[in-house]
Amino acid sequence: MPASSVVSVIPLEGLPELEESDDLAVLLHAAAGRAGGLEHADVVVVAQKAVSKVEGRIVRLADVEPSDRARELAGEGGDPRHLEVIVRESKEIVRSRPPLVIAETRHGFVCASAGVDASNAPGEDVLVLLPLDPDASARGLRERLARLSGVDVGVIVSDSFGRAWRQGTTDVALGVAGIAPLRDLRGTTDSRGRELRTTQIAVADEIAGAAELVLGKARHVPAAIVRGIDVRGGGSAAELVMPRERDLFR
């Protein structure tokens, strides 16, 4: 078995509880050093919440005045202030069953609560929002990691999303840098020369999901290295969003 064909998922452990303005690239570089160091073409997957915390994407519920719309979406069981923050982060409410909301975020992602989350938030009654521009967050980390480590790595900012029709969440890519998020099989043929029906594979989402296997949300492991799959290229996580006109489920 050639070692090069094996994909490894290596947790980046021992990071502190993150706060606004922490230098995440330095912390990730140090954690990677403890794990043997970064290698050329590695993909570093970083949990969205870590990125959002250092970028200050935090809202205190005490500072939020809920609108009538938020009270309506909260129903009996929800906190109207939490729903107000979700509404502000949403371009469109796609479905609602109070207090559950599926929304399209400012970035075009369709997900629960527009990505607004209270778990692992840095304090009581505090919500963590998605980064304003996760591709830019990924690019920033990639450039700093390249300077710190001297190697060219890809970066994915990931989050746990639910899915239509299936139970449970899987981690997907919200932001990418230095990688092609889709593997395009259009024009390639199968082993019998027949054109492949499945035209594009969302490799960035599969890499994010593979990283989640070692992230363990309840411990201090906000990132992982995925090594052994060369997905270098240019691209944006926007490529992973189904264009509205092609989407049968909007």
| Element spanning 44, H or E | strand 43-47
Give the Cα separation of 185 and 162 in Å (integer): 26
- Which position among 34, 40, 69, 147 is part of the footprint of a copy of itself (CB under 8 A)? 34
Which amino acid is present at 7?
A: V
120 lies in the binding site for a copy of itself (CB under 8 A): yes
207 lies in the binding site for a copy of itself (CB under 8 A): yes
Q: Specify the 3-state DSSP secondary structure of 92.
A: strand
User: Do 114 and 101 touch, CB atoms closer than 8 A?
Assistant: yes
The stretch near a copy of itself (CB under 8 A) out of 50-58, 62-70, 142-150, 234-242 is 234-242
DSSP annotation string for 112-142: EGGG-B-TT-SSTTEEEPPPS-HHHHHHHHH
Give the Cα separation of 233 and 123 in Å (integer): 38
Give the Cα separation of 9 and 225 in Å (integer): 6
The stretch near a copy of itself (CB under 8 A) out of 7-15, 55-63, 72-80, 147-155 is 7-15
Write the burial class of residue 163 (CB in 10 Å: 0-12 exposed, 13-18 middle, 19+ buried). exposed
Please, what is the minimum distance in Å from the beta carbon of residue 26 to a copy of itself? 19
> Considering only residues 130-169, where is the footprint of a copy of itself by CB under 8 A?
160, 163-169
Closest to a copy of itself by CB, 133 or 239: 239
Closest to a copy of itself by CB, 140 or 229: 229
62 lies in the binding site for a copy of itself (CB under 8 A): no
The stretch near a copy of itself (CB under 8 A) out of 19-27, 55-63, 67-75, 197-205 is 197-205
4 lies in the binding site for a copy of itself (CB under 8 A): no
185 lies in the binding site for a copy of itself (CB under 8 A): yes
15 lies in the binding site for a copy of itself (CB under 8 A): no
191 lies in the binding site for a copy of itself (CB under 8 A): yes
